[in-house]
Chain A
Amino acid sequence: MQDYDNRSMALSDAPPPIPQSAGEVAEIITTTNLKKIYHGVTVLDIPFMEIGNGESFGLVGNNGAGKTTFFRLILDLIEASSGEARIDGEKVARRDEWKSKVGSFLDEGFLIDFLTPEEYFTFTSKVYNKSEGDTALFLESMKEFFNGEILGTGKLIRDLSKGNQKKTGIAAALISDPQILILDEPFTALDPTSQIRLKKMLNELKTTKKITMLISSHDLNHITEVCDRIVVLEKGKVVRDIRTSENTLKELESYFAV
């Protein structure tokens, strides 16, 4: 803000600063002064964070670093102790407008375990007003990822293995064709083949649909392969914010090797 005021004063006679406004549009998620305090312990404290439209944003950090807390704040599932998160310039707290733009899967709390995967997908897509044709088309595109184990088995989600539950959740996050995708540790519990397929799928979504992705992971290999930008959290604070390059993996490995 300070910066902006100075500049506008200096350029008071010049035409409005175009790059500035263009820059604002490009930011799809912004958080300011975001803080979460549980019983006097600060678990997340991020003064400012911007995530660009179409950016793939990777979040890494040890257990308790605040990754899930950050995602939950953006998804308005917990109340921020201070500060706010905005999606597309609109506040998320206690609002519904952002929900149509975001697909997310954090944990098993996102699964309706007494439904079959088909019913779960149908329910989700109906909620987003998708037609049955769209849903069928989408599930067709997921066939490779599902590896023939999810659809048509007649099993309820609660009877699926952890890995298949995860696949179901990830697919349901994508069903609404979201602008923003938020996944918490999508690679854990998946078998190696599915991990590779998921990586491929995410990279495709990035290039073809320009989806903004927020992904957390403990696997440094995977996250550097998928994300253009990696943020390292430690005890709730941002300690690294890196554009991914060939050195990133080494940098991260040396950071975590203590």
Chain B
Amino acid sequence: MFDDSKRAFIAINDDKEIKKLIYPRRMYKTLFKHYRLKSYRSPGYYKNLVVNIFMGLTVLYFVVILVIMGIMLPGLLREIAPQQDSTAAFNGMMIYAVIALLMIRYLMQPLSALELENYRILPIKRETLVNYLLLKPLLNPLNYVTLCFAIPFAVTGIYPAYGTGCAFRFLLIVIFLIWFNTLLAPLLKRKFNNIFAGTIILLTITGVPAGLEYFKIFSLFQLSQHIFDFLTRTPFTWISALLPSALAFFLNKRYFAKNYYPENFDRKAKKKETDTGRFTFMERFGKIGEIISLEMRLVLRHKRTKRMLYTALFFLLYGLLFYPNATYNNSHEWLLFVAIFVTGTGMLIFGQWIISWDGSYFDFLMTRDIDSHTYIRANYFLLLALSIASFIATTPYFLFGKQIIIYHLVAFVYNIGVNIYAYLLGAVFNTKRIELAGGSPMNMQGVSYKNFVVMIPLLVIPVTLINLFNLFSAAHAALIIIAVMGLAGILFREPLLNMVEQQFLRRKYALCTGFRKKE
């Protein structure tokens, strides 16, 4: 924030730059330059290289999957619907795809309005700023990921059947529809501030045509097919696919014209009474209980942590992908992997954030009458409570077979006997402050390679062990060893926690200094 305003200030002090400010077209150039500089000069850009590489690999992974899916799709469609040609089938799904992607964008695409505050006080036309705000996401390559799927499909599906012209028209239409989605999603987000209500509205909008389709009253599929078949096959009609994007653009502009002040379009839910309900049951545990109930409030009162809480619910369901499937249900390593994963959900989600999520008030905690002994134990009990809750929440999986009970119990003991210390120790070494107020769902702020190092004992060790023993068909021996490791960890809790405490004291100043740095 500060850097931006400084930059804007420098810009206006420079004679040449003043001219740029007056001519709108040059202004766009300057604004987009600032946009680029902002990402390069953000303090986390180079420091967080490992995380960036990891993220890059993840993106690459999805891109590769999309490309493969795009190549395979024509063959797949022929198999599913042999009576129809693949292009027509794809065109039929187009409107549904647009709605589905719009929904994803609605949930994931961040709003970028507040950044403009620095510029609004400068002599720049408001319209220039609004246009910039609207067009900025169109320059973000991440918004074009869908093309990774569409291009291979155009090459393998459309080109052989209809030729180059048709394939190109198809791709142009896809790009226009991406624009439409990218422009419409923020507008919806601004209009329906409440994500929950918005999701329900969007689900209804999708649900109604899907229902009509199902009862064969009205087929959006056929409508979509007619429209896009016509557009891709007739020259120059593809231009009309620009209409929705143009419409979305002008709706956006109208919205901004109506809501002149950012306080109107970025308003948070009006001053709401905070539920001051205390976690009274925690009071019995003294200072430790106070700290744990503080962390619980922290989770419930920040967007980012609340979203993680929802993610945790999805993680708990992860077992449903594996347990009903015989291939996985008979494989020791998969059973163990999934067991550790689902019974450790709470720890997996929040464990990598403990201590560093206290970053914004760490100086306060360190100067109050909370000794390190208490503080470390409070974090320990928090993780323990999360693990117990996850274990209880996953007990319905026992219905998938007796062996699941054994695997879950072993995994649980391992989680609270070994992994819990890995997380505590990992937390002591993570000096990055976590900004919980940050809004974007793909927010990786505050994540460092240390978070990934923690994962090693978590999953790699037990899975390697069971694989190793399985070579001699003694997977049960591995389970016993893993359980014994866990029990030993529980038994030697005090010395292990004291060790963490010593490391914490040793790292105290590094933590204080790290947490004071805002990104």
Contact = CB atoms under 8 A, between A and B. Distances in A.
A76 B273 contact: no
A109 B297 contact: no
Nearest to A109: B363
Interface in A107-129: 107, 109-116, 118-119, 122-124, 126-129
Contact of A99 (B272, B273, B302, B370): B370
Contact of B301 (A99, A107, A127, A156): A156
Contacts of A221: none
Contacts of B509: 77-79
Contacts of B297: 114-115, 119
A77 B512 contact: yes
Contacts of A94: 505, 508
A116 B274 contact: yes
Contacts, number: 92
B364 A111 contact: yes
B366 interface: yes
Chain A binding site: helix, strand, loop or mixed by DSSP?
A: loop
A112 B370 contact: no
Contact of B369 (A79, A99, A122): A99
Given A78-B509, A96-B371, A119-B276, A127 B287 contact: yes
Interface string B289-317: 01000100110011000000000000000
Nearest to A106: B363
Given A78-B509, A127-B290, A110 B363 contact: yes
Interface residues of B, number: 36
B209 to A, nearest CB: 42
B367 A77 contact: yes
B372 interface: yes
B290 A126 contact: yes
Contacts of B290: 123, 126-127
A128 B287 CA distance: 9
Given A111-B361, A119-B276, A126 B287 contact: yes
B271 interface: yes
B127 to A, nearest CB: 32
Interface in A87-117: 94, 96, 99-100, 102, 104, 106-107, 109-116
A176 interface: yes
B362 interface: yes
A75 interface: yes
19 contacts: A75-B363, A76-B367, A76-B508, A77-B363, A94-B505, A96-B370, A100-B369, A102-B367, A107-B363, A109-B361, A109-B516, A111-B361, A111-B364, A114-B297, A115-B297, A119-B276, A122-B278, A124-B368, A126-B287
Interface of A: 75-79, 94, 96, 99-100, 102, 104, 106-107, 109-116, 118-119, 122-124, 126-129, 154-156, 158-159, 176
Give 10 nearest A-B pairs by CB, closest first. Answer: A96-B371, A110-B364, A109-B363, A79-B509, A154-B273, A114-B301, A100-B369, A99-B369, A112-B361, A126-B290
